[in-house]
Amino acid sequence: EIVMTQSPATLSVSPGETATLSCRASQSVNSNLAWYQQKLGQAPRLLIYSASTRATGIPARFSGSGSGTEFTLTISSLQPEDFAVYYCQQYNPWPPSITFGQGTRLEIK
């Protein structure tokens, strides 16, 4: 099983600043990596797929990078609505496997 490890567990950043979240895979997932945002009491929302492609309707301040085992989600010019929990997810085509990281909580500093 591919294990996804996110860091840090909690990140405190001030509005208007930039947040950098990390995700590491236990083995290469190439660019098969997605990022989701989840607010309290809500379903997750797809932000990024294929490591760096923004999903429909996602603002340009969200960007993803990386390949292989190391990935980063960068959120620039943080808005109040961006404070939430963020999850990475790998999708290995064969054998089919889908695993999520444990999440990073982005909180207001």
Partner 1 sequence: EVQLVESGGGLVQPGGSLRLSCAASGFTFSSYWMAWVRQAPGKGLEWVANIKQDGSEKYYVDSVKGRFTISRDNAKNSLYLQMNSLRAEDTAVYYCARDGVPAVTVFDYWGQGTLVPVSS
Rule CB under 8 A: which residues touch partner 1? 1, 32, 34, 36, 38, 43-46, 49-50, 55-56, 87, 89, 91, 93, 96, 98-103
- Are 15 and 79 a contacting pair, CB within 8 Å? yes
Q: How far is the CB of 11 from partner 1 (least distance, A)?
A: 16
Nearer to partner 1, 16 or 98 (CB): 98
Select 9 or 60, whichever has its Cβ closest to partner 1.
Answer: 9
Shortest Å distance, C-beta 12 to partner 1: 20
Decide if 89 contacts 102 (C-beta within 8 A): no
Q: Rounded distance, CA 7 to CA 23, Å? A: 6
Do the beta carbons of residue 3 and residue 26 sit within 8 Å?
A: yes
Give least dist CB 15 to partner 1, A. Answer: 25
Query: In this complex, which beta carbon is closest to partner 1, that of residue 80 or of residue 96?
Result: 96
Angle (CA) 78-83-85 rounded to 5° is: 130
Q: Measured from the CB of residue 17, what is the shortest distance to partner 1 in angstroms?
A: 25
Count CB atoms within 10 A of the CB of residue 54.
17
Closer Cβ to partner 1, 9 or 16, answer by number: 9
Asked if residues 26 and 2 have their Cβ atoms less than 8 Å apart, the reply is yes
